[in-house]
Structure 1
Amino acid sequence: MRSALVIGTGLIGTSAALVLASRGVRVHLADHDPEAVRTAASLGAGTDTPPEAPVDLALVAVPPARVAGTLADAMERGLARGYLDVASVKGGPLRELRARGLDLSAYLGTHPMSGRERSGPLAAVPDLFEGRPWVLTPTPETGTEVLNLALELVALCRAVPVVMDAEAHDRAVALVSHMPHLMSSLVAARLAEAEEAAVRLCGQGIRDVTRIAASEPRMWIDILSANPGPVADVLAEVAEDLGETVAALRALQSCDEDKRTRGGSGVEAVLRRGNAGQVRVPGKHGAAPRTYESVSVLIDDQPGQLARIFADAGRAGVNVEDVRIEHATGQQAGFVQLMVEPGAVPVLTRALGEQGWALRT
């Protein structure tokens, strides 16, 4: 790949353009917003001048509702040898392109499973896709050339290619992405008019649950409007679970011992189902998540604290597999949870204690 045209200079498009440009690909940028193009170009993502000849790859990174129209326009104008899109929904654009009677041999729908709460070119980073799944949805019409271009793009972005059917993809993202976002928003919405005394009690758990609720609503309206059926199906199943859980909790209020017992069993069942589902979430080392233990360290909100902890752990020969920060409300301090292999806990605890760190056991 020597040249590319990135249409849509938001978070995903600009991040991909930054990667391509850094690898020596001549990248041309286009967007309906000239200011977004200028911003992306100023970041080093490419040039705002249009290509003078067909490029190797056209990457369409626009909202789902505009994908088919943008692709059709680019294909009819012969702007590239191969065409990809990165929309979070795949079935709708494919059906619309087929309805237009276009030759789909040069097209491949894709979806990088990565993102941030922020959007726009200023939120773009070249390592956005590293280690993340990048779904490819080839069809019987897909040509070898565009498939190779897609695999090259995924490799340059250091992502992990995953091949799926377009409709299966849409059902999958409804479960693992679109529904969780709505659930996060529903939980966060309960806080909007809550009493201040209640909000001040927020801890790390509700921060984790509501983190993605900070995303741009207009972007998510576009996404959900393109995949409403599968998302509604999953939410309907969640609604059934919620109804059963509400009934179980009400039973716990009963004076009848049998009802309380059934209520407790119902609550326990949903919690255990949650345990069973959570362990299936892929971990750092692949599909099978590994079990780590946590060493919690009290730190002050000062520059260099995290660097010191990691350096002390490194000198002890301990690899930190993951890290979480639990902020103390209203205080300039918090706990850093260092996730390590179980066998490394005694070594790390001893080493950090010797360096004067305050540990929480």
Structure 2
Amino acid sequence: MRTALVIGTGLIGTSIALALTGRGVAVHLVDHDAQQARTAAALGAGTDGPPAGPVDLAIVAVPPAHVATTLADVLGRGAARGCLDVASVKGGPRRQLEALGTAPEALARYIGTHPMSGREKSGPLAATADLFEGRPWVLTPTRDTDTEVLNLALEVVALCRAVPVVMDADAHDRAVALVSHMPHLLSGLVAARLEHADESAVRLSGQGIRDVTRIAASDPRMWIDILSANPGPVADLLTEVAEDLDGTVRALRSLQSADEEKRREGATGIEALLRRGNAGQTRVPGKHGTAPAVYESVVVLIGDEPGQLARIFADAGAAGVNVEDVRIEHATGRQEGLVELVVLPTAAPALTAALRERGWSIRP
């Protein structure tokens, strides 16, 4: 692939363009907002000038509601040898393309894809060339997909350093309802409880509430587009969640009972739910997409000063310890916080000793 056309210069489109441009592909940028395309070009994502002729691959990165019509236009005028989209739902666009009367030979030049990566921020200024590195990128070829188009899509995934995953389109939509769309709505439901809460309560917020509500900061307009394209599977999952919530409420009410037997029943119900949660959480892939390993944490008190994080990572590196993950919890109203360094159990004692030796305050 030598040339590409990226249609839609938001977070995903610009990030793809940055990755491709950085690896020698000549990228042309198009957006309904010409200023946004110019911004992406100024960031080094390509040129906002039109290509002289058909490109090797067109990448459609527009909101789900506009994917099918944009694809139909690109395929209809032969703007590219192949065409893919990166929308978060996959079954709908192909069915809509067929409904629009797209010829079978044109459909063969299209493949639906979905990079499983993103941020709470949107727009070209939030884009990074490494956004997809190590992340799954779903491809949904059909029996009719042209082999050359599949190869072009695989090349994009490789250039973005993502991990290709081949799935059926409708199976993909059910999967993202479970791991992306439903969690976003639940995050919003929890965050909505904070809107009118007493300030004295909100000030007690710790890392737990920050973790749960982080994705609730995303653009609601974008999520209306996403959810409108995949409402059925999300509604089915939320129905199951609602049943669990009803059972949890009943169990909690039982814990208020004066009857000891009812309190025991309530505790049993809550424990069963939490244990199911434990079992589900262990299935979430860990580092490198494999089953999560057992880790230990070394918690360090850190001042809110420039260079502190760099120092602590350098000291961990000097001790020969690889930090698997890191979490930061800021102390409310104080110029300090806690950094939780997640490491393999065998490395925790050495890291603790090394950091203490270098003057860091380790917390239990």
**Residue 213 (1) aligns with residue 204 (2):** no
Give the SS at the match of 2:287. Answer: coil
Residue 43 of structure 2 is matched in structure 1 by 43
User: How far apart are 1:316 and its partner, in Å?
Assistant: 1.0
Aligned with residue 242 of structure 2, among 207, 216, 239: 239
Correspondence list, 1:10-25, <5 A: 10-25=10-25
Correspondence list, 1:124-163, <5 A: 124-163=127-166
Correspondence list, 1:92-241, <5 A: 92-102=92-102, 103=104, 104-241=107-244
Give the SS at the match of 2:258. Answer: coil
Show structure 1 runs of 5+ residues with no match. Answer: none
Task: State how far apart, in whole Å, the 2-side matches of 1:345 and 1:329 are.
Answer: 27
User: How far apart are 1:101 and its partner, in Å?
Assistant: 3.0
**Residue 53 (1) aligns with residue 53 (2):** yes
Deviation digits for residues 212-246 of structure 1, max 9, x if unmatched? 00000000000000000000000000000000000
Residue 73 of structure 2 is matched in structure 1 by 73
Alignment-mate amino acid for residue 116 of structure 2: M
Deviation digits for residues 186-215 of structure 1, max 9, x if unmatched? 000000000011001100000000000000
Deviation digits for residues 136-186 of structure 1, max 9, x if unmatched? 001111010000000000000000000000000000000000000000000
User: How far apart are 1:23 and its partner, in Å?
Assistant: 1.2
User: How far apart are 1:313 and its partner, in Å?
Assistant: 0.9
Give the SS at the match of 1:170. Answer: helix
Distance 1:140 1:101, change over 3 A: farther
Deviation digits for residues 258-297 of structure 1, max 9, x if unmatched? 1111000000001000000001000003331111100000
Deviation digits for residues 94-122 of structure 1, max 9, x if unmatched? 11112223231100000000000000111
Residue 259 of structure 1 is matched in structure 2 by 262
Task: State how far apart, in whole Å, the 1-side matches of 2:132 and 2:141 are.
Answer: 20
**Residue 309 (1) aligns with residue 316 (2):** no
Alignment-mate amino acid for residue 226 of structure 2: I
**Residue 331 (1) aligns with residue 334 (2):** yes
Show structure 2 runs of 5+ residues with no match. Answer: none
Task: State how far apart, in whole Å, the 2-side matches of 1:114 and 1:80 are.
Answer: 25
Residue 87 of structure 1 is matched in structure 2 by 87
Aligned with residue 273 of structure 1, among 269, 273, 276: 276
After TM superposition, which residue ranges in structure 1, 4 or more long, deviate above 3 angstroms? none
Aligned with residue 348 of structure 1, among 335, 347, 351: 351
Task: State how far apart, in whole Å, the 2-side matches of 1:238 and 1:60 are.
Answer: 34
Task: State how far apart, in whole Å, the 1-side matches of 2:149 and 2:292 are.
Answer: 34
Task: State how far apart, in whole Å, the 1-side matches of 2:319 and 2:240 are.
Answer: 48
Length-normalised TM-score, structure 1: 0.99
Pairwise CA RMSD of aligned residues?
0.7
Task: State how far apart, in whole Å, the 2-side matches of 1:68 and 1:224 are.
Answer: 16
Aligned with residue 289 of structure 1, among 288, 292, 297: 292
Give the SS at the match of 2:164. Answer: strand
Task: State how far apart, in whole Å, the 1-side matches of 2:116 and 2:289 are.
Answer: 15
Residue 63 of structure 1 is matched in structure 2 by 63
Deviates more, 1:180-189 or 1:93-102: 93-102
For these two proteins, the number of residue pairs brought into alignment is 361
Give the SS at the match of 2:235. Answer: helix
User: How far apart are 1:315 and its partner, in Å?
Assistant: 1.1
**Contact 2:134 2:162 (8 Å CA) reproduced:** yes
Give the SS at the match of 1:285. Answer: helix
**Residue 357 (1) aligns with residue 360 (2):** yes
Task: State how far apart, in whole Å, the 1-side matches of 2:202 and 2:324 are.
Answer: 32
Residue 299 of structure 1 is matched in structure 2 by 302
Give the SS at the match of 2:286. Answer: coil
Length-normalised TM-score, structure 2: 0.98
**Contact 2:134 2:288 (8 Å CA) reproduced:** no
Identity %: 76
Task: State how far apart, in whole Å, the 2-side matches of 1:285 and 1:27 are.
Answer: 30
Deviation digits for residues 52-92 of structure 1, max 9, x if unmatched? 11000000000001000000011101000000000000011
Task: State how far apart, in whole Å, the 2-side matches of 1:215 and 1:266 are.
Answer: 34
Alignment-mate amino acid for residue 352 of structure 1: L
Residue 28 of structure 1 is matched in structure 2 by 28
**Residue 4 (1) aligns with residue 4 (2):** yes
